[in-house]
Amino acid sequence: MYAAKFDREDELKTARFKHRSLNSKNVRANITPDQERGRIEAVQKANKNLSKSEITRRSEWMKTINLTKDKTPKQVSCPWCEKVGGDNAMKRWHFDNCKHKKV
């Protein structure tokens, strides 16, 4: 019963991911250079109306976003159950601690 539920959730996640990536590719492919230029000009115009403190706050926020963006965990696989995940979580729950480990 539970396995069927998880299989269905995986199918839904996969279908949603494919749908989003396909739509974003189609949208990006149909943007003309004039539309992109207009979008950039609108953002620049909106930024001109901001106060100095707001600009500083936004730039600090973008710096933190860019710092955290590159810190994705390395993916490793458990030799006992073949599960793949981030290295810190896998060290905690798998490898020597895996319930599928043969003693």
pLDDT digits (tens, 9 = 90+) for 44-86: 887 787 788 887 887 787 777 666 666 677 889 998 888 999 8
Distance in angstroms (rounded) separating the CA atoms of residues 72 and 54:
29
Distance in angstroms (rounded) separating the CA atoms of residues 22 and 16:
10
Q: What percent of the chain has pLDDT over 70?
A: 85
Give the pTM. Answer: 0.32
Query: 85: how many CB neighbours lie within 10 A of its CB?
Result: 16
Beta bridge partners of 76: 85
Beta bridge partners of 86: 75
